[in-house]
Amino acid sequence: MRAILFGLLVAALLTKAVDAQQAAPPWLPGAQFDVKQPPGANEDALARSSASRMLLGCKLFVAVPDPNVKTTLKMAGEEGYCSGIIHGLRFMMHFFNDYLPDELRSCPDNAVDGQIAQAVIVYIERNPQRMPKYPFEVLALEAMHEAWPCR
């Protein structure tokens, strides 16, 4: 069952591989990513997965609520979307770390979702050139590896 779930995760990440003009991440030799137009994806799914859009939701997720700012339904949705992806990736690490390449393995055993989201925000803001090239989930995995590498 683990192998099937891992295969589905890898397939989902690799469906974005098409554009031969963009550099492959070092952990996936030969793969090319184009988040603007992967085969079979619609514009809504692409917009939800873009790192620039997800960054706002993650910032909302880790922010201390301001009583003077009215939270909109859209803001709550963006925050929930980020927290769901972060939680899913953290949960996934417990089962699939052994199957990931060393460059993506992470061991955030004692980290909570808010700490992981903060690490992802810092990583993405430090590497803005990667935002248009890779989906948020890939950048989040890289950020988790940088913050909590397995030893």
Q: How many CB atoms lie within 10 A of CB 85?
A: 21
Distance (Å, whole) CA 48 – CA 69: 24
pTM equals 0.67
Q: Which amino acid is at 31?
A: A
33 bridge partner residues = 17
Tokens 């301001």, residue located: 66
Per-residue pLDDT of the chain in tens (151 residues, 90 and over written 9):
555 554 445 445 444 433 333 444 454 444 444 434 444 445 555 455 578 888 888 998 998 777 777 778 888 888 999 999 999 999 988 888 888 888 888 998 889 999 999 999 999 999 988 888 888 998 999 999 999 998 7
Selection from 133, 118, 129 nearest residue 64 by Cα = 118
